[in-house]
Amino acid sequence: MYWAALLLDKPPGDASTHDELRGLATWALQFTPRVAIVDDAVCMEVEASLRLFGGKRALQERVRSEGAELGVAIAAWAPTALGALAFARADVENGFARPLQEGLDRLPMEVLSVVEPHRPTLARLGCKTLGDIRRLPRVGVSRRFDKELLGALDQAYGIKPAVHRWEELPETFSARLELGFRVEQAEALMFGARRLLLQMCGWLAARHAGTAAFTLKWAHDTMRSKTAGLGGELTVRTGAFTRNVGHLSRLLSENLAKTELLAPVGELTLVAVDVEPLEEVSASLLPDTVRQGETLCEVLERISARLGPDRVVRPVMTEDHRIEWAQFWRPAAEKLPRETSSIDVPQPSWVLPEPLRLAVRNHRPLYQGTLQMLAGPHRIEGGWWHRVEDEGAEATKQVARDYWVALSEHAGVLWVYQERLADDDAAWFLHGIFA
């Protein structure tokens, strides 16, 4: 077995330790479903998950780096849960450096909680380490002390299997964090918000899901003015479902930079609002240079968070055969519906703002020479539902056209059409140009 024990940098009796342990356990569930809270630590068994996370060293580095942001003082590794907890309390990270029995025998006896009620008696017997206790006669120890002492020792040394109550993944995510000091500037909330974002992304990873929106709420200090209210909140939305903690942190930081606190803040709450299953990306056997750094979507979302959602837009395809209405512009940071299009004919690279009427000679349109028709006609008809106000009267954008792909000797490949049911049947228009 390969166990890890995570100890927080707070004393066990601290009032907020329980909530932080639950949050840490939720984060740890992304690595393995076998996570338990043991005394004042979170223990997780990751033997079956090592290859999934790149091996022992890669997993240890990730747990160490992300855990430090979550308030983990030390992460220790050993073949048993109580053994890992004992090493963590003794500030020894690697419980595999020597055989388990030899490593535990060197530790002070206080590293196991069950020793505390019997510590004075054991000290009078000359015991200072776990090895000293194990060298006492087992029969005498079982008679003089309770059975939990020998049971805990056997579980720590791997002689007896341990029974744990595994943590369950909640259906929804909502985490609270009490700040260690009162915050007066909104940007300073990122220190605590980052910890909550790590917990949320761990919860999302365990559910194989992503979020498109989350809400950060803050509670004002009791010493506040009446006009400040109880607190405030900020909802951050993304254009696509994600659990990239770096990207979500950047978006939240940009939004907090434009937020003003009405009173000092002492408590934060993070809630995942919009959650859906996320399609996993397969790893590559070759070096991946395509997905390094931020994606275009992430860059656009970060820029729009800084400049404002209406100042960064992107095109969206629609189910409309009228080429001038086949796309529209929406904020880049807004979650958009999946784009669909049933058009299977050539479409021009550039479309003119207004169709240009062409000259006609011998019933053939002209544009820098006589046009040669390459493909067509592609007939479209529609737009009766698109109603507009035209000089006080109601009209529609109804069109009835025959489109052609045409070749001009000097202008290249063009997109032209002839209006059907028009007063002038000889009218031809240039609407687009192919690259």
Full set of structural domains in the chain with CATH: 3-156 (no CATH), 170-279+293-344 (3.30.1490.100), 350-433 (no CATH)
The mean predicted confidence, pLDDT, of the chain is 85
Check residue 117 and give its pLDDT. Answer: 92
Residue located via tokens 């609407």: 431
Question: How far out from the chain centre does Cα 316 lie?
Answer: 24
pTM of the prediction?
A: 0.68
Nearest Cα neighbor of 273 from 232, 231, 332, 212 is: 212
Predicted pLDDT of residue 23:
92
DSSP 179-248: EEEEE-SGGGGHHHHHHHHHHHHHHHHHTTEEEEEEEEEEEE-SS--GGG-SEEEEEEEEEEEE--HHHH
How far is it, in rounded angstroms, from Cα 301 to Cα 248? Answer: 10
Closest CA to 295 of 342, 247, 251: 247
What's the average model confidence in pLDDT over 125-139? 93
| pLDDT tens column, 370-427 | 888 888 788 877 766 766 665 555 566 777 788 888 888 888 889 888 887 666 667 8
Q: At which residue do the structure tokens 């915050």 appear?
A: 183
**CA–CA gap between residue 213 and residue 276 (Å, rounded):** 11
- pLDDT of 93 > 70? The answer is yes
- 280-321 residue pLDDT tens: 665 555 555 555 566 667 777 777 777 777 777 777 776 666
CA distance 134 to 144: 14
Instruction: Say whether 294 sits in a helix, a strand or coil.
Output: coil
CA angle (204, 210, 212) in 5-degree steps? 130
| pLDDT attached to residue 222 | 77
Q: What is the pLDDT of residue 107?
A: 95
